[in-house]
Structure formats: C-alpha cells, structure tokens
Amino acid sequence: MVLFTLVVGIMFFKGQDQEQAFFSPELKKIKADLVLYGVRYRRDVKGKASQWLVHARLARFYEKKKEVDFDTVRITFQPGSKNPVKVTANTGQYRISSGTVSVSGNVKVKGVKDYTLLADVLFYYPERLAIESPGNVELRGGNGNELTGRDMVYLLKEHKLLLYFPRAIIKEEDVGA
C-alpha cells in the first residue's frame, strides 16, 4: 500500500509527458513486491549483537518466496566487533526464513586474517556463524604471499580458516650474504 501511494504521488507531481518515462517497460517487467534503491539493511537477532549490515545499490523483496535480491552489494559481518569481515560482490541474496546469505560475481572479502579473499561465490550460514566458498578461492596477503585452494570455510567468531587442496606462494625476505 505504501508503494502504491508513493507511485500515485509521483505521478501526480510529474507532467503527462514525463509519466511514460517513469513507467518504462523495464519497470513493468519487475516481478518483485518491493524495489528499493540505495539500501542499507541491518540483520539483528533479539538479545544479540548485530549479525550483518548490507549496503546495496538495489534490493528486490519477494514476499511469497521470503527472499531479497541485492545488486552491487557490500556486507559487513559482525559490524560491531573488533574484527569485522567485509564482503563486496556483484549480486547477493538473503533467504529470510533460514537467514542464509549468498553473494556472487567478483566476490572480495577483507578481514580474513591479514588476507584479501577472492572467490566466485560465497555463502553465510548464521547457525554456525560461518562463511563458505565452494570452488576455487584465492587469498592474497599484503606482503605478497598467496594461498589458493578449494572449498574454503571461515568461522567468523573464532577467526579460523579451513581450506582444501591448498597451494601457497610464500615471499621470503632476502637474507644478506
């Protein structure tokens, strides 16, 4: 009802010529119940610290599916802690019923030890306070060290990393001869 009132209000203030530009065919194709631009969304659980904070260029809410899709998304896990984990990606999805979050496309994670993690897809599971990345992952340290592998699990609360099939490139300091 609020969205309908807002649309009617915008139509009232726009001229007849501008009305068609506002109601473009792209807007009519949207299947979401609510579309918001410039979103900031915080996930809180009663009696606990905030779990995550999302900033997104666009959010589409689907009431029946109980899902939210995000475009150009930035998520901060454990935003109030000393060691927050920050994730950026092209797209994201939040499943309200389970609390899970997934992101994909140019996924970049900062706050995993002293590394930047790069992956294609990443999942957050609230019951375990863990982020997981199936498939190939790459961790790059500020000192030039690199660690690659598959099927990464990172426990947010404990700051522990599990990586399968690791390969490392370690940059050692030259020792004077």
What average pLDDT does the segment 94-110 reach? 94
pLDDT at 119: 95
pLDDT at 15: 44
CA–CA separation, 105 and 130 (whole Å): 19
Q: Are residues 59 and 145 in the same domain?
A: yes
CA–CA separation, 36 and 44 (whole Å): 20
pLDDT digits (tens, 9 = 90+) for 70-83: 999 999 988 778 88
pLDDT at 158: 87
Residue 108 within any structural domain of the chain: yes
Q: Are residues 149 and 90 in the same domain?
A: yes
Q: Are residues 22 and 41 in the same domain?
A: no
Q: Are residues 20 and 58 in the same domain?
A: no
Give the pTM: 0.76
Residue 24 within any structural domain of the chain: yes
Q: Are residues 131 and 141 in the same domain?
A: yes
Percent of the chain with pLDDT over 70: 79
Residue 174 within any structural domain of the chain: no
| Contact (CB, 8 A) for 118 and 105 | no
Q: Are residues 127 and 161 in the same domain?
A: yes
Percent of the chain with pLDDT over 90: 50
Both tokens of 144, joined, read 């030039």
Q: What is the mean pLDDT of the chain?
A: 81
| Confidence bin at 169 (pLDDT 50/70/90) | confident
Higher-pLDDT residue of 132 and 113 is 132
Instruction: Give the count of domains, the chain.
Output: 2
CA–CA separation, 126 and 131 (whole Å): 9
Residue 125 within any structural domain of the chain: yes
Residue 177 within any structural domain of the chain: no
What average pLDDT does the segment 137-144 reach? 89
* Residue 101, pLDDT above cutoff 50: yes
* Residue 102, pLDDT above cutoff 80: yes
pLDDT at 175: 45
| Confidence bin at 133 (pLDDT 50/70/90) | very high
Q: Which domain holds residue 160?
A: 32-169
Residue 175 within any structural domain of the chain: no
Q: Are residues 60 and 47 in the same domain?
A: yes
